[in-house]
Amino acid sequence: MPQQVKVHKRIQELHPEIENEDVLAAWDTCYSSARRSDSAFDDYVVIGSDKKGRLLQLIAVLESDGSWLVYHAFTPPTDRVLKELGLTENRKRKP
């Protein structure tokens, strides 16, 4: 049985360009995800693409009933999140 994914209403309030369907598509096409070690909660960060081809970063929490609540979505993903997921290289600059 697939896990239920809920999208918090504040995402569209803060980012009207990101619709619920965009969040669900990005969740379904997850390229990379990880549990956030610096969080006091059981948060996960996810990178996926929506049906428009945009990369979205999502932050979700696993609720006690087994469903996921996505409470943050942003596009494009921040450098911090890309580094957190190991999707960027740390290159030393040449002098």
Contacts of 48 (CB under 8 A, 6+ apart): 25, 26, 27, 28, 29, 30, 31, 55, 56, 58
SS3 43: strand
H helix or E strand, kind and range, residue 47:
strand 43-49
pLDDT recorded at residue 42: 80
- The structural domain count of the chain equals 1
Tell me the pTM. 0.85
Asked if residue 34 belongs to a domain, the reply is yes
Q: What pLDDT, in 10s, does the model give residues 58-80?
A: 999 989 888 999 999 999 999 98
Q: What's the mean per-residue pLDDT of the chain?
A: 88
Asked if residue 48 belongs to a domain, the reply is yes
Asked if residue 64 belongs to a domain, the reply is yes
Asked if residue 91 belongs to a domain, the reply is no
- At 88, the pLDDT band (50, 70, 90 cuts) reads confident
Q: What pLDDT, in 10s, does the model give residues 35-60?
A: 887 766 788 999 999 999 999 999 99
Asked if residue 94 belongs to a domain, the reply is no
- What CA–CA distances, in Å, run from 86 to 31, 33, 92? 12, 10, 16
pLDDT recorded at residue 89: 63
Tell whether the model's pLDDT for residue 4 goes beyond 50.
yes
Range of the domain at 62: 5-84
pLDDT recorded at residue 37: 72
How far, in Å, CA of 24 to CA of 5, rounded? 7
